[in-house]
């Protein structure tokens, strides 16, 4: 990645943090607020492949952890796994399909929240499994599915010049058209 790419990624992550810490914290459904920071590894996995998805998940997760009371590093751990997973799972799919980003955001967000709760409870926070997990999964997944396309455009802009690893040539070509 060039310094320009790093600046672009930094700007996108900062924009997501601002929206998360202002709009999203006030937007509550049954006491649950959306979490758009999860979108970053998911769409990075779609745009840049498993490697970029994992790296974005780790970086954005560490930034998100700065504002969370849960164990520091947990969002980074889950984020890099989910970013990698989305990248691998969608390698063989047609990335130009309009439905792919919302579906990936829906499934990826649901998996993220479940994995987050399970790993958190294993790390000495058993209460993380006693929350309204189904409600959290539904609210976060639906909002992220709705915001997947604009998020994908932002991350595609940030990663435009970055090399795309581990992806078939056809996938690289189709992601480059976005």
Partner 1 sequence: MAMPRRSRRPRTTLLVLVLAAVTIITLDARGGFHVITSGVKSVAADAFAPVRSGVNDIIEPIGSFLAGSVHYGAVRQQNQKLQAEIGRLKRQISSQSDAEQAMKQLSTLLNLPFLANLQTVPAEVTNYGTSDFAATIDISVGRDDGVQLNMPVVGSGGLVGQVVQANHHTATVRLITDGQSSVGVRYGPPPGLLAVLTGEGSAKPLGADLVPSNTPLTNGEQFTTSGLQGALYPAGIPVASVITSKTGATASQESVTLHPLADLAHLRYVSVVLWGPSS
Please give the residue ranges that form the binding site for partner 1 (CB under 8 A): 17-18, 21-23, 25, 28, 31-33, 35, 49-51, 54-55, 57-58, 61-62, 66-74, 76-77, 80-81, 84, 87-88, 91, 116-117, 120, 123-128, 130-131, 136, 140, 165-170
Give me the least distance between CB of 46 and partner 1, in Å please: 14
Q: Which residue has the tokens 């998805």?
A: 53
Residue pair 156/8 in contact (Cβ under 8 Å)? The answer is: no
Q: Which residue has the tokens 């997760």?
A: 61
Give me the least distance between CB of 143 and partner 1, in Å please: 12
Q: Smaller CB distance to partner 1: residue 57 or 108?
A: 57
Q: For 108, list phi and psi in degrees, rounded to 5.
A: -65, -40
Give me the least distance between CB of 153 and partner 1, in Å please: 21
Residue pair 137/168 in contact (Cβ under 8 Å)? The answer is: no
Q: Which residues pair with 32 in a beta bridge?
A: 29
């Amino acid at each position: 990645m060039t310094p320009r790419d790093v600046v672009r990624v930094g700007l996108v992550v900062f924009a997501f943090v601002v929206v998360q810490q202002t709009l999203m914290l006030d937007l509550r459904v049954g006491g649950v607020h959306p979490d758009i920071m999860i979108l970053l590894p998911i769409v990075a996995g779609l745009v840049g492949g498993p490697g970029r998805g994992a790296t974005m998940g780790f970086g954005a997760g560490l930034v998100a952890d700065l504002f969370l009371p849960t164990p520091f590093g947990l969002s980074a751990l889950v984020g890099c796994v989910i970013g990698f997973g989305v990248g691998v799972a969608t390698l063989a799919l047609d990335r130009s399909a309009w439905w792919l980003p919302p579906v990936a955001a829906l499934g990826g967000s649901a998996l993220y929240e479940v994995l987050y709760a399970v790993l958190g409870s294993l790390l000495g926070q058993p209460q993380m499994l006693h929350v309204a997990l189904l409600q959290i999964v539904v609210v976060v997944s639906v909002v992220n599915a709705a915001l997947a396309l604009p998020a994908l455009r932002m991350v595609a802009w940030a990663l435009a010049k970055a090399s795309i690893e581990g992806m078939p040539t056809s996938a690289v070509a189709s992601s480059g058209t976005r």
